[in-house]
Amino acid sequence: METISENACFGGVQGVYRHASDATGCDMTFGLFLPAEAKEGPVPVLWYLSGLTCTHENAMTKAGAQAHAAEQGLALVFPDTSPRGDDVANDDAFDLGQGAGFYVNATRDPWAKHYQMWDYVTEELPRILTANFAVDEERQAITGHSMGGHGALTAAMRLPGRFRSVSAFSPICHPSRSDWGRKQFTAYLGEDRDAWARHDATLLMEAEGFDGPMLIDTGTKDQFLDLLMPEALAAAALKRRQQATIRMQPGYDHSYFFVSSFMADHVDFHAEALWA
């Protein structure tokens, strides 16, 4: 474990760390905010999964989450969105390859060697955090933006009991039917539609649902709204009678101006579940 930086932040510490990953076969970097309460013992954790083109740094510096997490005594984890390095497969398009891991375990070449982001985010990084930092492995929640919202929703529904609550900002809700999904799933997973279904929030909602509270915000002026398909997830949630708050926020787009505007709502939402 290499400490890249540690800065005082709202009474706690915002750190950035690098480690060799067995899952991805390369070095991975993540951000971790620990509130002041972590000096006394393990604190609840809110995971934040970022979207296309992002690194660990985007939400860490743009979302304004630390101030709200400090008020609630929560840790924040900011993983990277993909493996990185000169020997890691990439693509010229912004929505495939480095920065676009889609939180799946790739099974197709040339991606399979390094693109094991599901295992990294759901298995390896949690073990590293609980072994090295004052975070509570029992009290965890998850959120994310866009591609990261897709990752948060699928992780919450596929791992029953892991997360007490889930939320998302502008999530990709039905990737099996969207150009933000079909392209990446074909590249990473091939034509196996059963494998696709395990990473589709709408299909998982129809099949499994989530045993806990759910909050989703999307802007009415999101420039990618047709790719996100929030109406599909809302219909599946209604059919399943899933407890969920799904909001369309008037005038907001896909940017971090939108995310930061509603971050306090999401942190407070998770704090209620984590401290219950």
One digit per residue, pLDDT tens: the chain, 276 residues?
A: 999 999 999 999 999 999 999 999 999 999 999 999 999 999 999 999 999 999 999 999 999 999 999 999 999 999 999 999 999 999 999 999 999 999 999 999 999 999 999 999 999 999 999 999 999 999 999 999 999 999 999 999 999 999 999 999 999 999 999 999 999 999 999 999 999 999 999 999 999 999 999 999 999 999 999 999 999 999 999 999 999 999 999 999 999 999 999 999 999 999 999 998
222 catalytic, yes or no? yes
The span from the CA of 148 to the CA of 142, in Å, is 10
Kindly name the residue from 146, 165, 167, 170 that is annotated as catalytic.
Answer: 146
In 35-104, at which residue ranges do the beta strands (DSSP E only) sit? 43-49, 75-79
The domains located in the chain, with CATH, are 2-275 (3.40.50.1820)
The span from the CA of 201 to the CA of 23, in Å, is 24
The span from the CA of 213 to the CA of 142, in Å, is 11
Closest Cα to residue 146, out of 246, 272, 54, 276? 54
Q: Residue 72 in contact with residue 263, Cβ under 8 Å?
A: no
The span from the CA of 60 to the CA of 15, in Å, is 10
Kindly name the residue from 165, 222, 266, 270 that is annotated as catalytic.
Answer: 222
Torsion of CA 136, 78, 82, 198, to 10 degrees: 50
The SS3 of residue 229 is coil
Kindly name the residue from 56, 145, 174, 254 that is annotated as catalytic.
Answer: 254
254 catalytic, yes or no? yes
